[in-house]
Amino acid sequence: MPATPIPVGSLVIDCSKQGSFLVDLPHRGLRGLLVERAGFIEVLGEILANQATVGPKAGVTQDDVDGILLDNAYIDEIDAILPAARKLVELLVESRAFYDDDRQRRVHAIANLIEGRARTTGVIELLAKYEKTRTYRSATGVKGAKTRKAKAKAKAQQAQTQTQTPPIVTPPFVPAGTQ
């Protein structure tokens, strides 16, 4: 019987009931795992229909069938939680990004405010007191300027080597004995 799905958008997800069968695979542990393909439900129906009559003759043990049924129950419970959990992760990631953006913009505004105040009041010591703040704010711009300068230099060097190096001319191929 499928588990009752948790509503997407829920902020409370209790997986303690599933804790006994949840698996934490090592890094890249999903590689090589087989996944359900189209037709699995029909295959499962066939296995279940034949188990009582010919399953043991075919070498299919009841433990194998019970294992598949238990796996199905676990998957049903996980599938009931997964959409809400994915949405909750999405909310957390987006909320973190939103608040990180806000604090970064506030730091930038404070750095600009300090520089403006130092300019208008003539209290230059303010710049020294907030040096780390101002450096942090400008780091992205400084890095971008460095990158643009390096790319322009590389482009100029490439253009210079292309103009200095004469093109290599390969003589036409003439098969031996045809001259």
Q: What is the pLDDT of residues 149-158, one digit of tens each?
A: 888 888 888 8
Q: How confident is the model at residue 7 (pLDDT cuts 50, 70, 90)?
A: confident
Q: Is residue 152 part of a domain?
A: yes
Residue 162: pLDDT above 80?
no
Residue 91 has pLDDT above 90, yes or no: yes
Name the residue among 78, 76, 60 with its Cα closest to residue 23.
Answer: 78
Residue 13 lies in a domain: no
Is the model's pLDDT at 114 over the cut of 90? yes
Higher pLDDT among residues 7 and 67, named by residue: 67
Cα separation, 92 vs 104, in Å, equals 18
In a domain, 8, yes or no: no
Q: How confident is the model at residue 178 (pLDDT cuts 50, 70, 90)?
A: low
Residue 27 Cα distances to 24, 71, 82, angstroms: 9, 22, 20
In a domain, 22, yes or no: no
Could you tell me if residue 153 is inside a domain?
yes
Of residues 14 and 165, the one with the higher pLDDT is: 14
This prediction's pTM: 0.67
* Tally of domains in the chain: 1
- Within 22-164, where are the H helices? 40-51, 55-58, 62-121, 125-129, 131-164
Q: Is residue 123 part of a domain?
A: yes
The answer to the question of residue 83 being in a domain is yes
CA 115 to each of CA 14, 102, 124, 140, 144: distance values in angstroms, whole numbers, following the listed order: 50, 20, 9, 18, 21
pLDDT tens-digit series, residues 24-55: 999 999 999 999 999 999 999 999 999 999 99
Task: Convert 86-100 into a string of H (helix), E (strand) and C (coil).
Answer: HHHHHHHHHHHHHHH
Structure tokens at 34: 């087989």
Give burial (CB, 10 Å; 0-12/13-18/19+) of 33: exposed
* Residue 21 maps to a domain: no
Domain that holds residue 101: 35-159
